[in-house]
Amino acid sequence: MRLTRRTLLGGLAAASLPIGRAAAAGPGGRQRWLKAGLDRSDGLAGFAAAKGILFGTEVRDEVLTADPALADVVTEDAALVVPGLELKWPALRPSADRYDFAAADRLLQFTETAGLGLRGHTLVWHEVIPDWLKREAEAGRLKQRVDEHIARVVGHYAGKMHSWDVANEVLEPRHGQPGGLRNSMFLKALGPGYIEAAFRTAAKADPGALLCINEYDLEYDHPQHESRRQAMLALLTDLVSRGVPVHALGIQAHLEVGKYRFDPGLLRAFLAKVTKLGLQIFITELDVNDRALPPDEIARDRAVAAHYGEFLAAALAEPAVTTVLTWGLSDKYSWLSTVSEQRRADGRPTRGLPYDENLIRKPAWQAIADAFAKAPARS
């Protein structure tokens, strides 16, 4: 569907209306990035922006540098990007007293040159913790190190960011901790208050950024997903009731064909409860694993596209879903084909993203475009 002038103007009108309980994303950031989307009328960001939705994707500095063709696809299809690595502790902070913003600054430069938005990922996460930080935690200095990290990093990009994943994957009900919290180094050393402290420190460093709590396995009709949804609702209700500056829930949406039952009504009921808290909802790491399917690529592509379509139809029916990012655009760089627990048993590359490894659009691309075209305009 080509975007007519009417839909483009409709998108701008939809984009100009405030949504939910949200800080401005930088100085007029959201409107600027939605306009960037509308300027890319043939790309996924154009289909999204016509309904007042920001579409983007995960990028990596080394990939954008090594693969200019992929960089072109990103600038054609995205209005927002999120660094897959460059704003995590290992890349940013090789030691307690040294910060290295070079790679993340290059990505910021890329977005500013292309007129795209940038979202930060992630400030507090139990994965990829540098050994030096583990030693600092053992020495009783974790709070100091986390507070100074958030203040310095968020401050460095203040006024430039769409949003930050302040806390990532804080839930793990199977750990048996109160509130279903993950029994991480942060919980052990700092107690459950580490989440609130992170949000308050980030809000102080950049009052203009949207602050997000990001989580996986919230999507399906499955007991583990249900317990995570209940735990997340309780956590968000507590944070919001105490005036903690959380503005959005990030639903990672690492989907998989054929693994669990998808119930659109169940997802929409959950999204409605989050919306009632005055929060925006971001779909933050969308991709579809096809490892359970037989090798035939045409059948896999069709099934992956169908799952994108049914998930996005349910998610986008909720107007508080304002932002959608895939975790990459091309199968060539997808974590689904590199991380052992995600790979297909037959060793074939996963075909879970909108473009194949030769940057050819797949049915998934069209399914995402169609989902945006059918979505209600945001107001």
Site for ligand G3I in 99-158 (CB under 6 A): 127-128
| Stretch touching ligand G3I by CB under 6 A, among 46-54, 80-88, 222-230, 317-325 | 80-88
Applying CB under 6 A, which of residues 88, 200, 225, 378 lies at the interface with ligand G3I? 88
- Of positions 26, 29, 56, 84, contacts ligand G3I by CB under 6 A: 84
**Residue (37 or 250) nearer to ligand G3I, CB:** 250
The two three-digit tokens of residue 75, written as one number: 């600038």
Q: Which residues pair with 321 in a beta bridge?
A: 281
Shorter beta-carbon distance to ligand G3I: residue 62 or 147: 62
- The smaller minimum CB distance to ligand G3I, of residues 77 and 217, is found at 217
Please give the Cα distance from 125 to 115 (Å, whole number). Answer: 29
Query: Least CB distance from residue 243 to ligand G3I, whole Å?
Result: 27
Pattern 277-296, ligand G3I, x by CB under 6 A: --------x-----------
CB of 278 to ligand G3I, least distance (A): 25
- Smallest CA-to-CA distance from 293 within 305, 281, 283, 282 is with 305
Determine the residue with CB nearest ligand G3I: 335
Q: Residue 364, exposed/middle/buried by CB under 10 A (0-12, 13-18, 19+)? A: buried
CA 88 to chain CA centroid, nearest Å: 14
In whole angstroms, the minimum distance from the beta carbon of 153 to ligand G3I comes to: 15
Q: Which of residues 305-344 bind ligand G3I (CB under 6 A)?
A: 335, 338
CA distance 216 to 196: 20
Binding status of residue 252 toward ligand G3I by CB under 6 A:
yes
DSSP state of 348: P
Instruction: Measure the CA angle with vertex 65, ends 341 and 150; round to 5°.
Output: 70
Beta bridge partners of 171: 181
Q: Are 190 and 140 in contact (CB under 8 A)?
A: no
> Which chain residues interact with ligand G3I by CB under 6 A?
62, 84-85, 88, 127-128, 168, 252, 285, 335, 338
